[in-house]
Structure 1
């Protein structure tokens, strides 16, 4: 039977018992009521009590059965792929709340430390990290342009072969021939050392008391914004270490110099995957360059209007704050395939810790939350992404004879 109907029937039965109780009490005070009528009233009341109590028992049984079914449904849901993800998400959100409130059950979980003895904190689950990385892609992330390698060790090494040093495999005419030592490319050994990058934000009581979904959404967005700026900065810091052909070249002073960089800057094998990178002020100068017919040289990609191209190469624009001009006001211009040139070694061990004591939290009755990201960025092939600077001047123009070639 429906629980709501059982509940209504039980309430009505209870009211009937109350009414019959009142009737019996009234009859007891009336001397004119016969013993037979009084006995009938009492019997009717007792029957009503039995019905009321039976309905209550049925209602309780139905409620327990419903609880059991909900638990069973929940257990089934948890064992599905979507159910597991949802369960993990809610569990992490509740752990974040417990971490912020100093819940001993959560704090006792934070016993793991890294190789330097630093407490890892509440490690962000893999599925949540995936959601964070999906958010990062919505921002101007440079990580999409480099090679990202997940690592499980805090340090290590990799061997890379530069494009310019790659030699062909030996031609062995005889199946029994011994493989000789004639294929000896210059290998570049890269050492990586995972670094800890940390940031602190303040949690308000309003957010703390909000739903797990809203708290988790805030944490994901906060980490994503911090991570994209941190990783962008680390990638840009590596670019000056690149040793491409244009490193020693004079500042590009004409559009023809820019074309020469595009035509000769990198090995033809990676030219198809190469792009240009400059800052906002550099892009603005390039955006005013016209050919002899008065057409702007920078054009939007017809398939992706928000992406601009120069000589068929995508132009990636970085804020002057992160990629500044040099001391003479020359604009940076990098060209090549950044995936060949730079590797980001990702420890995939984001973690959270909180305090209500340090950082002014105690004085201001606030809670501070700290995120730690662990990764390293290393240059792997300096010749694959060449650095240069340019200053074309306000009157710079691409000649109609060279434009588009």
Structure 2
């Protein structure tokens, strides 16, 4: 599995390099076309656009494949070394988990014999890796922001990492003499990021008839419910980290979006950036037109279901999972994998009770779910947050008597 991650990392990097190369060629063409509109034929321009869009799609496909492979790599739980010949299979571990889950409800005790008091002091039953993996897979069906950021699996509650921002990297010295002594370079500008794993918990109410169902149905119900809770909780913390961005332009007209894309971030970040907005914001962006009357947001040539602005993908999330900001629609632009890291402790747990939390009075089962993770901003220069309500179209330029006059925006 680790070999597969390494291979996909190399593929992602190659795809990213290809996008960078084509982006530079496209920029050179744009400069030449500005000087001479006939410098390139329509076929050459279309081919460059097609090549660039295809390279972007290939890079994003490689990133998604790498993300999936990384999610499947789970930090092994610490515990006794298994005795050869007695190692349990994944199905056996899952079956034991469901059995323990049912026993906790009927007996009111944890597997170690400790009584469930309902005061929140008990850790609960740890969810096995196979079930956690399935929960993470299901999470992707509910507009999860997690795939857009970097996820690092950690085995300690607290820790720290040292990062060098892309914009702060200094070049190596140019030695024109083969015998020249290599001198010291500027010390890199490093940032120390500390993480501290938090517990995030929620309680679900289930009817007692659930426990009479099959083990498979009980497990499927728990996975679906935990996945929804997981997405809502992690999205909230990712959005909180995103809110720490220092660049927060207000968008009112067509050109403000172009400024957000082209003049806000470092060029090296722009090459791997994309737009993110919610459904309400997407509906507004879909109606904005340029000076020619064409829509600002266009479907990708290679995949009409994917929309782009200036060659950059626009990702849409439900308003429920990516809400408005103070009444305005959000428009994030940047590379969130460089800007945000989620530290995953991978110690999900559940604790059921038929006594506490009002379960006894209603003859139901209360199930507490706990997830453990932390989210930190790594590079505030890797993305920007724009906000808007309505966006004016680009002003139309009309040629009159050999001169250009501008009319008001539509």
Work out whether the TM-score is over 0.5. yes
Q: RMSD across aligned C-alpha pairs, in angstroms?
A: 2.9
Q: Which residue of 2 aligns with 1:333?
A: 331
Sort the Cα spacing of 1:221 and 1:312 in 2 relative to 1 into closer, same or farther, 3 A: same
Q: Which residue of 2 aligns with 1:107?
A: 111
Q: Using the alignment, how far apart are the partners of 2:114 and 2:186 within structure 1?
A: 51
Q: Which residue of 2 aligns with 1:347?
A: 345
Q: Using the alignment, how far apart are the partners of 1:110 and 1:382 within structure 2?
A: 46
Does the 8 A contact of 2:143 with 2:321 survive in 1? no
Sort the Cα spacing of 1:392 and 1:226 in 2 relative to 1 into closer, same or farther, 3 A: same
Does the alignment pair 1:219 with 2:216? no
Does the 8 A contact of 2:108 with 2:353 survive in 1? no
Q: Using the alignment, how far apart are the partners of 1:272 and 1:224 within structure 2?
A: 32
Q: Using the alignment, how far apart are the partners of 1:211 and 1:261 within structure 2?
A: 53
Does the 8 A contact of 1:110 with 1:120 survive in 2? no
Q: How does 1:156-171 map to 2 (within 5 A)?
A: 156-170=159-173
Corresponding residue pairs, total = 310
Does the 8 A contact of 1:92 with 1:125 survive in 2? yes
Q: Which residue of 1 aligns with 2:61?
A: none
Does the alignment pair 1:396 with 2:400? no
Q: How does 1:81-120 map to 2 (within 5 A)?
A: 84-102=89-107, 107-108=111-112, 118-120=121-123
The structure that is helix-richer by fraction is 1
Sort the Cα spacing of 1:324 and 1:136 in 2 relative to 1 into closer, same or farther, 3 A: closer
Sort the Cα spacing of 1:259 and 1:79 in 2 relative to 1 into closer, same or farther, 3 A: farther
Q: Secondary structure at the match of 1:138?
A: coil
Sort the Cα spacing of 1:396 and 1:190 in 2 relative to 1 into closer, same or farther, 3 A: same
Q: How does 1:315-394 map to 2 (within 5 A)?
A: 315-321=314-320, 323-327=322-326, 329-393=327-391
Q: Using the alignment, how far apart are the partners of 1:335 and 1:341 within structure 2?
A: 11
Q: Secondary structure at the match of 1:141?
A: coil
Cα offset for 1:169?
Answer: 3.7
Cα offset for 1:391?
Answer: 4.2
Q: Which residue of 2 aligns with 1:235?
A: 238
Q: Secondary structure at the match of 1:227?
A: helix
Sort the Cα spacing of 1:399 and 1:146 in 2 relative to 1 into closer, same or farther, 3 A: farther
Does the 8 A contact of 1:266 with 1:383 survive in 2? yes
Larger Rg: 1
| Structure 1: unaligned runs, 5 residues or longer | 1-77, 112-116
Q: How does 1:43-122 map to 2 (within 5 A)?
A: 84-102=89-107, 107-108=111-112, 118-122=121-125
Deviates more, 1:282-291 or 1:217-226: 282-291
Q: TM-score, normalised by structure 2?
A: 0.69
